[in-house]
Amino acid sequence: MKIVVLKFGGTSVGSISRIKNVARIIISHIKKKYKVIVISSAMSGETNKLSNLTKEISSNFTPPEYDSVLAAGEQISCSLIAGRLNDEGFLSRSFHGWQVPIYTSGEYSHSRIVSVNKNNIIKYLKKGGIPILAGFQGINSENRITTIGRGGSDSSAIMIAKFFKAEKCIIYTDVAGVYSSDPKLIPNAKKIKKISYEEMLEMSSLGAKVMQPHSIQDARLHRIDIEVRSSFNNKTGSLITKRKNVSTKNIIRGVSFTKNDAKISLIGVKDKPGVAAAIFEPLYKNSINVDMVVQNISSNKKETDLTFTIKTEDLTKTVKLIKNNKNIKFKNIIIDEKVSKVSIVGVGMITTPGVTFRMFNALAKKNVNILVISTSEIKISVLVDRKNLKKAVDVLHKEFKLDY
């Protein structure tokens, strides 16, 4: 059985006219003799709308009920797609996560798919049906509806492709593929035809919003090739695949950035074993992600200055946790919420000397001051003043010849 998994994002199903277009895309794959499994997100804006309803009704909405409410968005879009396909003369029906069923484990709102019962879907495919599966959801061991995090429909598609051994997994969205940077900021950004899992994982975790990092990780773990393309045109997209399948003359594949970072510096922290753990433990327990970390030890080796970055939305809570933390002492706390992270990504830097110099030199020539530096095998990230964001991204895009 030749199976293709098609996933449609919220903008692709954001209106009745767009859902009709989605039906046309699905039919085009049917005409190519594929058995098609469709994964749909909720209509754009619907998940936020449902989330706001829970906040209006209660300040302490329970996690199981919260997931049950949020899962309704995908169910609506799936039924609308199936309804359109039926109107076009095709056999189609929606499947909620519990009807497949798709089994998950982990906490509510952050569950992961662990297994899929294929029987119902296989039977439906064999009788010529087009199953439309609700993304972003499943059921846990207590038979309760769970969701798998924002952007989770991508993960749903990848895991369905894995369990059904699909030949293709195509993610339809509102962009034509993966770009060397955000075209909204850098008009000369180019579409990348092929990109490795590792590069895409770094770019998505560093600000590229094409796909969520955990969905890329799922694809990498299970070796599922993903094509990202627009649902609004017929142009070829970008293929996310194994590193050995990617050949390029570019050392750097992309420049990513974030706009919602805040920098916190603790001055005069007593330098002793366990102090860093004492600082970060309350943040970890409150699900606050710490990103870049720099520690400077004073010459007398008795005190240290510790700087780290978090998301701006977590700033108020983080500062409160630090000030109320009786396990640490410091002389001062300095906060800067007008910073941005700019990163270059590419597997080519592993074997190419001088990349760090070129990056720092290019920024220096444009008088962009570097506040914090973080590196890995295939990326270099710097923290800069937010006012210098566009200048920094633009100069690095040109320095590594990504305009061509």
Band (175; pLDDT cuts 50, 70, 90): confident
Residues of the domain holding 328: 255-399
The total domain count for the chain is 2
Q: Is residue 158 domain-shared with residue 262, that is, in the same domain?
A: no
Q: What is the DSSP letter of 328?
A: -
Nearest partner of 153 among 257, 77, 253, judged by Cα: 77
Strand, helix or coil for residue 147: strand
> What is the pLDDT, as a whole number, of residue 299?
62
Q: Answer whether residue 224 is part of any domain.
A: no
Q: Give the domain CATH number at 42.
A: 3.40.1160.10
- Average pLDDT for residues 212-232, to the nearest whole number? 90
Nearest partner of 228 among 3, 8, 43, 20, judged by Cα: 8
Strand, helix or coil for residue 221: helix
- Average pLDDT for residues 379-394, to the nearest whole number? 95
- Residue type at position 296: N
Residue 101 preceded by cis peptide, ω within 30: yes
Q: Within 13 Å of residue 106, how many CA atoms lie on the same side as its CB?
A: 16
Contact call for residues 92 and 86 (beta carbons, < 8 A): yes
Q: What is the chain's mean pLDDT, rounded?
A: 92
Q: Answer whether residue 213 is part of any domain.
A: no
Q: Answer whether residue 157 is part of any domain.
A: yes
Residues 346, 291: Cα–Cα separation, whole Å? 20
Q: Answer whether residue 388 is part of any domain.
A: yes
Band (247; pLDDT cuts 50, 70, 90): confident
Full DSSP string of 347-382:
GGGGS-TTHHHHHHHHHHHTT----EEEEETTEEEE
Residues 171, 230: Cα–Cα separation, whole Å? 8
**How many helices (H) and strands (E) in the chain?**
12, 18
Q: Answer whether residue 7 is part of any domain.
A: yes
Asked whether the predicted pLDDT for residue 149 surpasses 90, the reply is: no
Q: Answer whether residue 194 is part of any domain.
A: no
Band (298; pLDDT cuts 50, 70, 90): low
